[in-house]
Amino acid sequence: MDFKYKILGYFLREKSKADVHLVLLKWSTYYKDLSTINQEIFKIRTLIFIKTTRFLSDPNFYVSPEMKIVISSAFTQVTFGLKIVTFSKFNTIFIAPSSYTYKKVNQFFDGDVNIKTSRVNLSWPAVKRGFEFSDDALNLCIHEFGHCLIIENHKRKYIGIFNENNLERYKNTAIYSMDQIRTMEHSFLRNYGGENLMEFFSVSLETFFEKPDEFSQKLPKLYNSLAKLLNQDPRKKEHPKLI
């Protein structure tokens, strides 16, 4: 384990790590498959995210510690190969008891990233479904956190979240694959990914983590560019981090 994680782990209560461990064994297939050392790193990174994030909800809806752990684990999962351990802009997460809508908008949402309020909004039933079915390429938290990563990377002035060369390679591959979706040349990724590059990234992320073997077989160039961008390969279950 890296020395920095040993230091960080020292300042975190063992009970907190034990609580995270029990919750993730119940909810996270990704975590369960990790080696013991990587599970320890995952727990530390998840606790850091929880401690640096504000969780809000409706007055009559209780957000339990378990909910916070489950939601935070999605961020840790997506960024496990990256240096980022928390958001700098989207550090408020609002958890709704059901699908919600906005004033003057005739549409219900299960999740969205609100740039004006710097807030991630999530419907708990949709979050729950995303973890209960871990192989259907549908995970609301992974999807919305994907949006956050793209936005924050764009807004950072100096050091970005992603390696710029890897990001450029991914973009070029993604544009080609997105055109295939629009022309119905392949139907592996959800059609919603054809909306724009932002949605394509999030749809790809969901599939990358929940159907990695099939993804790598059907769209190997896209899969490899995404693995390089995220510095991890979820097919390597015990040790997904590449470098």
> Residue 39 is encoded by which pair of tokens?
């599970």
In a domain, 110, yes or no: yes
Structural domain harbouring 58? 3-155
| 143 and 71 in a common domain | yes
Mean pLDDT (the chain, rounded)? 93
| 214 and 148 in a common domain | no
- CATH code at position 146: 1.10.472.150
In a domain, 137, yes or no: yes
| 181 and 144 in a common domain | no
In a domain, 190, yes or no: yes
Cβ neighbors of 119 (< 8 A, separation 6 or more) are 90, 92, 93, 94, 113
| 210 and 120 in a common domain | no
What is this structure's pTM?
0.94
Q: What is the pLDDT of residues 176-233, one digit of tens each?
A: 888 888 877 677 888 888 889 999 999 999 999 999 999 999 999 999 999 999 999 9
> Considering its fold, how many domains does the chain have in total?
2
Pick the last residue of a domain from 131, 155, 179: 155
Is residue 127 pLDDT above 90, yes or no?
yes
Task: Write the burial class of residue 75 (CB in 10 Å: 0-12 exposed, 13-18 middle, 19+ buried).
Answer: buried
Residues 37 and 1 sit within 8 Å (Cβ to Cβ): yes
- Among candidate residues 55, 74, 200, the one with its CA nearest the CA of residue 134: 74
Residue 194 has what pLDDT?
83
